[in-house]
Amino acid sequence: MTTEDRGLQAERTRLAWSRTGLACAGVGALLLHGAMTPVAVGGGVGVLLCSLAMVLCGARRYRGRVLVLPAWVGLVAVVPCVVVVLVLVVGQRG
């Protein structure tokens, strides 16, 4: 690794979290757009909140406030989103 590459890993990590958060926000927006029940609205809002958490995790890591985020931070940002989407998909089939 050359001296020019220093700091780029943190920037790539932030960009990856941002892209993931944006994709998740798109899913949340689609869920809200087609929501016809309170459960679907809650699911869409839940996914949007998870996408915000993803973006904030990446931004916090990039600003250098912490060198490495604990694993539970990523789990808190990702797992609720996955659970909401799975519940909504299974609910649509049933």
Stronger pLDDT, 93 or 18, i.e. the higher one: 18
Tokens of 15: 């960009």
Q: Inform me whether the pLDDT recorded for 78 exceeds 70.
A: yes
User: In 10 A of CB 17, how many CB atoms?
Assistant: 23
User: In 10 A of CB 44, how many CB atoms?
Assistant: 21
Reading phi first (left if > 0) and then psi (alpha if -120 to 50, else beta), residue 12 is in: alpha
In this structure, are residues 40 and 34 in contact, taking their beta carbons and an 8 Å threshold? yes
Q: Using CA atoms, how far apart are residues 73 and 80, in angstroms rounded to an integer?
A: 12
Percent of residues, the chain, with pLDDT higher than 90: 2
Query: How do residues 27-57 score in pLDDT, each as one tens digit?
Result: 889 888 988 888 788 888 888 888 888 888 7
Stronger pLDDT, 5 or 55, i.e. the higher one: 55
What 3-state class would DSSP assign to 5? helix
Q: How confident is the model at residue 93 (pLDDT cuts 50, 70, 90)?
A: low
Across the chain, mean pLDDT equals 77
* Every domain of the chain and the residues it spans: 3-93
- According to the model, what pLDDT value does residue 57 have? 75
User: In 10 A of CB 78, how many CB atoms?
Assistant: 16
Tokens of 66: 């912490």
